[in-house]
Amino acid sequence: MGQIYQCQTPNCGYMYNPEKGDRKGKVPKGTSFDDLPEDWKCPICGAGKKMFRPLMPPGMG
């Protein structure tokens, strides 16, 4: 099980939130970013996972 944190792509600003999942991509709530399929893409701009940057709360990482 991967870490639970949000990730954002600089392309369009979309933020993947594990608490919400990705309805469009059929990713259920509670799926961590690390556990997303490798071929998962941003539902807005189509950026791949490698384009996302973690947004961790202060003191984590």
- Assess if residue 60 is contained within a domain: no
- Assess if residue 14 is contained within a domain: yes
Per-chain mean pLDDT for the chain = 88
pLDDT at 39: 96
How many domains does the chain fold into? 1
Whole-angstrom Cα distance, residue 55 to residue 61?
10
pTM of full prediction above 0.85: no
- Assess if residue 61 is contained within a domain: no
Q: pLDDT-based confidence at 23, cuts 50/70/90?
A: very high
pLDDT at 20: 95
- Assess if residue 1 is contained within a domain: yes
Q: Lowest mean pLDDT of 7-11, 27-31, 41-45, name the range.
A: 7-11
E strand or H helix at 53, and its extent? strand 53-55
**Average pLDDT for 7-16:** 93
* CATH code assigned at 39: 2.20.28.10
SS3 5: coil
Print the domain residue range for 24. Answer: 1-55
Locate 53 and state its tokens.
């940057």
- Assess if residue 36 is contained within a domain: yes
